[in-house]
Amino acid sequence: MCAMRLLLLLALIAAARGQTIEFHVIEPSLLEQRLRMAHPKNGERYARLKALFEQTGCTDDLYHEQKVSGSKQPNLICQVPGNQGSPRRIVVGAHFDSIGGDGIVDNWSGAVLLPSLAEFMRRTPRRHNFEFVAFAGEEQGLLGSKAYVNAIPKNERPQIAAAITMDSLGLTPTKFWPDGSTRELVIDAAVMAQALHLNFQGVNMGGVATTDSESFQNAKIPVLSLHSVTRETFGLINNGSDVWKAVSWQDYYDTHKLISGLLVYLDSKLP
């Protein structure tokens, strides 16, 4: 048995021993309403996402924007401070720009989860500081995530316990990008998926796609790259087919549940 499978098996056994699982159950109609807010123009996507952050409590000192060279829109950053004064940080990110159709799958599906996840994590005191980041300019060459990572001094990067990136969700059950993810975080996500009885598989898209996880991986920051794309569904994004009917609603809803549970699990587990 390979080391990866052995570690996964041991983790799943440990997870089955009575651990309490906390995750977010958002009203399906609310999540659907927010997903349907996708707009083909990036300026309008930025404005709508900013409004959602404000509506869910990310205001004043909790919210700021970061200029991105080469992009007309900035990164949007929502902070959820931890309650123990720890310098450790968990980053959750998704790009909001698009270049095809209504851009619902790629990547309003990921970006629109950020406000609800931030609101959920704010409800209970957390050990880690969280930053929920909507990246601009991903379709222009990962501009937003590169700007975010480059702004972090190298001596502070070890304080990032994990980065979770979400890109093109809701086509199929949640996938992870093996070559773009840190093994330990893949195992943590598999534990949560098993606990919630959800499908979770690895699908590499190298050679045909790029995603913001690369910016973190290149900076040697632990990262988990989540998506829902397969070779069969790849043709639905970055063109006129990226519209509402492309979404597998139950898979998208389950992905939201999985990610919310994973954030709580990582907050309790990571140093």
pLDDT in tens, 63-103: 999 999 999 999 999 999 998 778 899 999 999 999 989 99
- pLDDT value at residue 23: 80
More confident residue, 54 or 87: 54
- How many domains is the chain built from? 1
Per mean pLDDT, which range of 12-26, 135-149, 222-236, 256-270 is the poorest? 12-26
Q: How many CA atoms lie within 13 A of 123 on its CB side?
A: 12
- pLDDT value at residue 231: 87
Q: Which of the four pLDDT bands, split at 50, 70 and 90, describes residue 205? A: confident
Is residue 264 scored above 90 in pLDDT? Answer: yes
| Nearest of 148, 214, 208, 206 to residue 181 by alpha carbon | 214
CATH code of 158's domain: 3.40.630.10
Evaluated on CA atoms 219, 225, 230, 233, the torsion sign reads negative
Task: Compute the distance between CA of residue 91 and CA of residue 180 in angstroms, rounded to an integer.
Answer: 16
More confident residue, 245 or 10: 245
Q: Which domain holds residue 179?
A: 3-269
Is residue 9 scored above 60 in pLDDT? Answer: no
- pLDDT value at residue 18: 52
Is residue 21 scored above 80 in pLDDT? Answer: no
Query: Which whole number is the average pLDDT over 207-234?
Result: 94
Per mean pLDDT, which range of 17-26, 83-92, 183-192 is the poorest? 17-26
Query: Which whole number is the average pLDDT over 177-201?
Result: 96
- pLDDT value at residue 19: 60
Evaluated on CA atoms 132, 135, 138, 143, the torsion sign reads negative
Phi-psi region of 176 (alpha: psi -120 to 50; beta: other; left: phi over 0): beta
**SS3 assignment, position 93:** strand
Burial class (CB in 10 A: 0-12, 13-18, 19+), 85: exposed
Query: Which whole number is the average pLDDT over 136-151?
Result: 98
Q: Which of the four pLDDT bands, split at 50, 70 and 90, describes residue 109? A: very high
- pLDDT value at residue 13: 44
Per mean pLDDT, which range of 131-140, 160-169, 202-211, 259-268 is the poorest? 202-211
Which tens digits make up the pLDDT trace of 222-241?
Answer: 999 999 999 899 999 999 99
